[in-house]
Amino acid sequence: MKKNFIILLLAFISVNAMAQKPQTMNMPLVQTKYTADPAPYVHGDTIYLYTTHDEDDAEGFKMKDWLLYTSTDMVNWQDHGAVASLKDFPWYKGDNGAWAECVVERNGKWYMYCPIHGNGIGVLVADSPFGPFKDPIGKPLVWRTEHWSDIDPSVWIDNDGRAYMYWGNPHTYCVELNEDMISTKGDIMTMDKIEDYQEGPWIWKRGDWYYLAFASTCCPEGIGYAMSKSPTGPWEHKGHIMDHTPRTRGNHPGIIEFKGKWYCFGLTYDLFRLESSRHAERRCCMAAEMTYNADGTIKELPYFQDCKLEQVGTFNPYRRVEAETMAWGYGLKTTRENPSGPWNPTLFVTDIDDGEYILVKGVDFGKGANELLASCSSQMFGGRMEIRLDATDGWKAGEIDIPNTKFKYETFRTRLTKCEGVHDVYFVFKSNSMQKKNLFNFDWWEAKKVKEI
């Protein structure tokens, strides 16, 4: 008990340190919302990270929709908002239970497998990874008699074209999917019990080996894994990708290969710990690079916060960059809603308070940018946005004063200096008045190289 208390105390201290200097630690991937149950999918040069969504006031599980984030470098993530919700299933009449989903692409269609707690696993289909997702069958794809264990689906399409869906707590179930991906083939298989298995199976293949990662026995849950020469087993338990630890409570793995490296995604409660030492189901997704031993087994990782997640490539600023693209933005929110003003169909950053900031990592200005455009709006007093390099108090490359625009978005410009090569860019928000909260909204920005006059 004393040892666990010390570990929890150290964890609380470390997450508070993370709030002060996030660029020096492995951070939650998203800070503007509570996200959980990461389901990463690689398509082309982009990671599509689908997540569940813990509401800001959740105590137990309060989950209504599924979110999407994208990245091309593993550290800067663009928020695309909710791409599906419980309302997309007309046969379900509740308003809670949007649990851990999985998304795969096949033949130009995107399939989202959505467990609705206590009501089986539904399926949605879209022509784009961004939706809109529609229910093609009007009923659950899977809903067994023991329906409370129909959770956490993971879908794998093998090299021979056969597709399988895995799910279940406390047992692992598997069923083959037809090529249409919205109907099943044959009977549901109950796999032999895998040592330390609790829930959240995640399937992938490397070489001749099939891997099944899972949230290991609660509580706290770690991330365990098993290996097999067949997609249907038998599975041999091989140990942990990440061991059980009192520094977190639950977990849910998602494993991908991206640009020649392997990554393990999971969840923690570290974001909520920045605000409180008590427990609530307000979780955050994290990731760490994962490596293999020569025999195909996986090298065990330390806790997510103790791993190092490096940027893959650099970030291009010479385009319209949505403001909700960031490596860090704790304290900020993203939304399409504007309670006191006109509807905005696109996402924007709001709830901007004095001293908060957006960090975009590894921005490559090349031979140099000398101008920055930013689209912002303000209801009342407005504020100031400083563009700083490499630290919140680093070189001030530019500055924009944002007045009251009466909610209308306007494009502001500032001259940039010393923006050459690769830098971490901080958009630091400051107040120009007594008002310290809700200074303005931030929609997009773009760096330019303009001809000097």
Q: Which domains does the chain have, with CATH numbers?
A: 2-306 (2.115.10.20), 321-448 (2.60.120.260)
The stretch 190-198 carries a mean pLDDT of 95
pLDDT tens for 15-69 read 444 444 455 567 899 999 999 999 999 999 999 999 999 999 999 999 999 999 9
The single-letter DSSP state of residue 116 is: B
Per-residue model confidence as pLDDT tens digits over 397-436: 999 999 999 889 999 999 999 999 999 999 999 999 888 9
Q: What pLDDT is stored for residue 148 in this prediction?
A: 82
Nearest C-alpha neighbor of 377 from the set 396, 349, 355: 349
Q: How high is the pLDDT of residue 145?
A: 62
- CA angle 101/102/103 to nearest 5° reads 130
Residues 18-31 pLDDT 10s: 444 455 567 899 99
Give pLDDT tens digits for 299-336: 999 999 999 899 999 999 999 999 999 999 999 999 99
Q: Evaluate if residue 236 carries a pLDDT over 50.
A: yes
Which has more confidence, 345 or 230?
230
* % residues pLDDT > 70 (the chain): 92
On whether the CB atoms of residues 270 and 305 are closer than 8 A, the answer is: yes
DSSP class per residue in 79-99: EEEEEEEGGG-TT---S--B-
As a whole number of angstroms, the longest Cα–Cα distance in the chain is 74
User: Do 119 and 143 meet the contact criterion of CB atoms below 8 Å apart?
Assistant: yes
Model pLDDT, residue 164: 98
CA torsion, ordered 37, 302, 28, 97, to nearest 10 deg? 20
Q: What would the pLDDT profile of 76-125 be if each residue is shown by its tens digit?
A: 999 999 999 999 999 999 999 999 999 999 999 999 999 998 899 999 99
pLDDT at res. 453: 45
**CA R_g for the chain:** 23
